[in-house]
């Protein structure tokens, strides 16, 4: 009888099935990513100082995460329903090309700059 009462109490304390809990970490260092933006359906939230977040709209199929100096991640909601509920964001080191006003305004120079993105490590055109 005590086991039944304990089980009922534990079910009452558990998070609702529509609530997603997760943690966002740097894929390389496994450190928590603070203030990452987590989007589930139309709901948007941010991670806390431990990289943790709560989201309520599990009717959406995907969870999208983005953060400063990190790549983006998009994972199925179902992946967060089982522990550990961890989302690993790749660390991004910006490698940018800074063309002048003339470089942006000149079609030939602008197209040449854009063609550098794929064959090089360039990941930003500022």
pLDDT tens for 85-100 read 899 999 888 788 888 8
- Domain extent, residue 113, equals 96-125
Alpha-carbon gap, residue 88 to 24, rounded angstroms: 6
Q: Is residue 112 part of a domain?
A: yes
Domain check: are 20 and 82 in the same one?
yes
Q: Is residue 113 part of a domain?
A: yes
Residue 65 and residue 36 in contact, taking contact as beta carbons nearer than 8 Å = yes
Phi-psi map region of 17: left, alpha, beta (phi>0 left; psi -120 to 50 alpha): alpha
User: pTM for the complete prediction?
Assistant: 0.65
Chain centroid to Cα 72, Å, comes to: 5
Model confidence pLDDT, tens digit, residues 16-36: 456 788 999 999 999 999 999
């Amino acid at each position: 009888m005590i086991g039944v009462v304990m089980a009922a109490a534990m079910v009452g304390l558990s998070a609702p099935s529509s609530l997603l809990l997760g943690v966002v970490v740097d894929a390389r260092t496994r450190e928590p990513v603070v203030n990452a933006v987590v989007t589930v359906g139309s709901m948007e939230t941010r991670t806390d100082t431990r990289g943790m977040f709560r989201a309520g709209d599990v009717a959406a199929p995907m969870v999208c995460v983005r953060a400063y100096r990190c790549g983006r991640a998009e994972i199925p909601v179902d992946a967060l329903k089982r522990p550990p509920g961890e989302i690993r964001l790749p660390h991004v080191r910006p490698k940018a090309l800074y063309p002048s006003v003339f470089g942006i305004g000149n079609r030939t120079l602008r197209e040449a700059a854009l063609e550098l993105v794929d064959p090089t490590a360039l990941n930003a055109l500022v």
